[in-house]
Amino acid sequence: MRFRKLLSVCCGAAFCIAVFSLYVMLDRVQYVRQVDNQPDHLPKGQLSELQEKLSQLEHLLEENHQMMNRLRDSVRVLSGEESQVNQLAMVTALKGSWSWRQVNGSWMLPLDFRTLEAGPILTEADCHFASRMQHGNADIQMADMFNKLPFDNPDGGVWKQGFDIHYNNDDWNKQLLQIFVVPHSHNDPGWLKTFDAYYQDQTRHILDGMAKKMSEDSRHTFVWAEVSFLAKWWNDTDNEKREIFKKLIKSGQLEIVTGGWVMTDEANSHYTAMLDQLIEGHQWLHRNLGIRPQSAWAIDPFGHTSTMAYLLHGSGLNHMLIQRVHYAIKKRFSANRSLEFLWRQSWDDEGKTDILCHMMPFYSYDVPHTCGPDPKVCCQFDFKRLPGGRVSCPWRVPPQPITVDNVQSRAQLLLDQYRKKSKLFRTPVLLVPLGDDFRYDTLQEWDQQFGNYQRIFDYINTHPELHARVQFGTLSQYFAAMTKVAGWGDGPTPRSGHFPVVSGDFFTYADRDDHYWSGFYTSRPFFKYLDRVLETRLRSAEILFGLTLAHASHMGFSFELAKEDFSRLVQARQNLALFQHHDGLTGTGKDPVVNDYGSRLHNAILDANGVIGNAAQFLMLQNRRAFDKSALFLNVDEIRTSHDSLSTQNIIKLSSSLSPVVIFNPLALSRSCTVRVRVNLFNVHVTSADKRAVPAQIVPLWFNKTTISTKEFEVYFLVHLPPLGFALFELVEAQMPRLTVPSQLAILQGRSLSSFEPFRMVEPPLEGTDLKIAVAHMKLRFSATSGLLQGVQVKGWASEMNLRIDFAWYGTRSSRDKSGAYLFLPDGEPKPYVIDKAPVIRVTEGPLFSEVKTLLPHVTHSVRVYNLPGVEGLSLEISNIVDIRKEHNRELVMRTTSDLDNKGIFFTDLNGFQMQRRKLWKKLPLQANFYPFPTMAFLQDSHTRLSLLSSQALGIGSLKNGQLEVVLDRRLMQDDNRGLGQGVKDNRITPNHFRLLIEQRGLQARERVSDPYLAYPSPLGHITSDSLNHPPIVLISTMSSQASLSLRPSVHLLSRHLPCDIHLVNIRTLQSLTDNGPGDDVGLILHRKGIDCSLTPQQLHNNCSSTEGKVMLEGLFNGLNVRSVKPTLLSLLSAHEHKDERSRSSSTDVILPPMHIRAFTLNIK
Ligand SMILES: [Zn+2]
């Protein structure tokens, strides 16, 4: 009985296939004829025409063969699933096009689109790194310190958050107390005023004053951090001042600290942008002043990341200083005299990443909190606050001008503070910063500070019984003296054992009480989103520009737009760099400042798009010599009408002639994914450049909740893209496009659509039953009432995983202290998101993807799964469009809830560079348990890892087992008393995109469940994150079909993909040393990631292979020669300037240790 049934099914199916194949052949032959009949395609010999048809037929036969194979497979599957035999409605002709449904009801691609080249070859050695039980051998693990500290916040006396400090007068009898007072001015490149307004009103006066006043007395010193302001001043000022400035640098009176374009935010920023702004600053300093900074100075970022320590160390800095650290941690570090430590990466066993770090002990970087523990005393030594001035001391004891009469008592009072402060450190060398925001903007202030201090110094230095020597100094002068006393000698050799080794990070920052700065992880999320759009776009522009120049030069000419496009790149770099500032990306500027940043980001995206379009056109041309800047026609298909609008796409007007669409893959791995374009017709036939039909899915555009456009459609089509390469596709109007399938739609809780061409409307599920969508790798279940995810059945798993998504609200406190741009001060646990009426839910199903979209009043929320082979098909895509503009003191969160027993442990990324372990600390308030989330967070139990990947920075927490909670947007009506002076009320309609990845942990991983500090993403986790962050770029033609004739079918910029654990961070063209144009060399930056191989699915079908960190650069760039490779610092500067030429190596193989970033300058032609 069973066999007969099976046989009849087989025969039936075989018949269907045969009929279908015949139809397909006819259709294809017809199509080939149609295309060939077009006049554009004619001038070919008859022979070649016949050859082409023959090869088409051969291909069809091959397809047919594959179909038969598939049928055989299906029968095999079915023989074990007799009960489902009746569901074998495999081939359904839907409006004459192709459509496949599997036995389980899920959609299916044609066979030759369903598999990719098989899988990963990860060497054992590459997997070894993550499976070690190492964690940096640090003396202090920040995670342990959090565990131990009581966070009880007792009153510490004059040093409120600390303790009384005692000393004996004879403590310095044997060795003098050596004090370096370091004058500085903190210049925010945008906060209460825009960058330009600050420059005009204050900063240029500060720099002018510096040039004037400091040359008057060689004892006077200063440190300067923000190169963005310096570069602007440099352009504006005269040669005389530039020369004075250079002299001050040369004499050591003036030091450029950090040398970044800005003092970057360290929480929300991605390491690539952090590095970009550092490169921009260091390159500027190198070109204009011939210097490379030695010490870093970060007095204002709201919490500190070990990623910054890594980047600084890699850029050749020897020392760094940080300030905004949780007061309880400062207190513990002070008590243990650990404020100076070697900061080591958690994953570094050997200490090769160590950098000497100084943590400032007190509340702030202003004068009252830097001379010693008592702000009431220290404030009296801020001589800008002398009576009669605009600022005064809140402790109500004003400074006194220093005179012969009072100098003794004033000196003793100040020295007492210095001595107390020095008791917190291990050496008798003391650092005392002297400055504040936008200080020294009048000549008078230079005189007030330097004059009064000099009188005190002169007194102390001429009284040996005080056993102190005090002077103005720079940061590096301090470090040099301090390390010398510590026994380090002159060189930076962090091996003395004099300082403790610390691993971990300094989030989440609290400056007092329960005032945790976790609000800014999400504040102004629209611009956090836009920042990352620019990041990926600029990266593509950089890489394409660099390789375009190299290809042109290889052919013996120069690219026509080299200068023009390079200056657009530089503009874009500087705009992105500016936004990394700790009041930019953080969302803590005033409204007009936010708009100023927004339009800079917007302009930068337009600039990057322009550079991409030009480079794409050059690279794609059959005849690159024919490149003509007056006949450009390829453009990035993106419309952004203003700096805060959502992006949209052009409508491609289809006709019987071909519309070319060029896709660029910015990843150095090949990929298969869908791309989307908008068209004016649904009967669109998509072909790849070799004229093969490509599967496509038509999706409606919605006018409103339940009405669709009949004139415009979205078409998604499947693309296989080469690593770092272009592929050409063509769209044409066709009567019955064989592989184009209109989506199947269902609407719940809304007026049902009458069947709209060409979509098939299906009945929503019956009341009380769940909504289901399925693709090859998984099946999703949603509530038909709320439209929200309830469960996921992963292919091959025994049971459905309980995985729910919901939304919730936080309010703010009713007390005086309320949430604002910086602070998150919630009124307790989040309240469920409740709405009066069940939402409209739209279900879209098709062969490429299926999606459930829920139209909640504040979020358009969609969960989509792709029916694609490889990486794309293995995770859920979650997109939200958030709008809370009508709310009052509310914050919206999205939660993913599972049954995972993660025991309060979860992991969040630091700047997309590394994963940091987090724990739910019940002893801390709720807001302390939120962390930055620039790219990735995961939690795991012994069997499963659940990762949430993001393409923008937001705040995240895990307040319950199995749960991750992301803050999507915040609307706060008041200031939170951190100087901004306003709430956050300029909310925008904000998009965000996530991927949710479910992986099984292998046996090896389960054994390691107790590893307390470290975790690494799987190769799949990394690749999914990179795919999310670097989507393919679609370029369309503004010219007729003639255009595509002149284009190549594809361009492979790389001859091979990179190993899948190596990310191509950038190829960045260096500026010429002689003019503003591009120079001859490019900077190449590579990052080798740490990978955890013990998670499944390991089969990525993505050519994932590893090479133990070895990258052969020779022959890597198709059609180009790598003429020299020179290892550099991460800032692309030479580590040893004088060895410049000798270090140019003839070997073009480079090796990266796991987790490391390496940079090189290349000469490619
Ligand atoms: Zn600042």
Q: 265, 300, 986, 1026: which one is catalytic?
A: 300
State in Å: Cα 464 to ligand 1 middle.
Answer: 39
State in Å: Cα 832 to ligand 1 middle.
Answer: 36
Low pLDDT (below 70) residues in the chain: 1-106, 115-121, 133-136, 489-497, 752-755, 1004-1012, 1040-1041, 1043-1044, 1097-1103, 1137-1146
State in Å: Cα 348 to ligand 1 middle.
Answer: 31
Strand 914-919 relative to strand 905-910, pairing? antiparallel
State in Å: Cα 254 to ligand 1 middle.
Answer: 20
State in Å: Cα 599 to ligand 1 middle.
Answer: 21
Cα–Cα distance for residue pair 128/37, rounded to 1 Å: 59
Tokens encoding 896: 């993913």
Asked if 32 and 53 touch (Cβ cutoff 8 Å), the reply is: yes
Cα–Cα distance for residue pair 146/503, rounded to 1 Å: 13
**pTM passes above 0.85:** yes
Look at the block and give the residue holding tokens 């079909």: 1041
Strand 1157-1164 relative to strand 1078-1088, pairing? antiparallel
| pLDDT for residue 1039 | 77
State in Å: Cα 221 to ligand 1 middle.
Answer: 21
Asked if 222 and 189 touch (Cβ cutoff 8 Å), the reply is: no
State in Å: Cα 584 to ligand 1 middle.
Answer: 10
Residue in 349, 343, 263, 273 with CA at minimum distance from that of residue 299? 263
State in Å: Cα 435 to ligand 1 middle.
Answer: 12
| pLDDT for residue 75 | 43
**pLDDT tens profile 660-707:** 999 999 999 999 999 999 999 999 999 998 889 999 999 999 988 888
State in Å: Cα 582 to ligand 1 middle.
Answer: 6
Question: Cis peptide before 508, with omega less than 30 degrees from 0?
Answer: yes
| pLDDT for residue 704 | 84
State in Å: Cα 188 to ligand 1 middle.
Answer: 5
State in Å: Cα 366 to ligand 1 middle.
Answer: 11
Residue in 638, 662, 658, 640 with CA at minimum distance from that of residue 649? 638
Cα–Cα distance for residue pair 521/866, rounded to 1 Å: 30
Residue 800 parent element (H or E): none
State in Å: Cα 493 to ligand 1 middle.
Answer: 31
Per the annotation, the verdict on 436 as an active-site residue is no
| pLDDT for residue 752 | 65
State in Å: Cα 321 to ligand 1 middle.
Answer: 15
Q: DSSP 3-state assignment of 413?
A: helix
| Spacing of C-alpha 281 from chain mean position | 20
State in Å: Cα 187 to ligand 1 middle.
Answer: 7
Residue in 857, 886, 850, 835 with CA at minimum distance from that of residue 705? 857
Asked if 373 and 1041 touch (Cβ cutoff 8 Å), the reply is: no
State in Å: Cα 325 to ligand 1 middle.
Answer: 15
Cα–Cα distance for residue pair 851/550, rounded to 1 Å: 43
Residue in 692, 473, 548 with CA at minimum distance from that of residue 28? 692
Q: If you count them, how many residues does the chain have?
A: 1165
Residue in 1007, 995, 984, 901 with CA at minimum distance from that of residue 944? 901
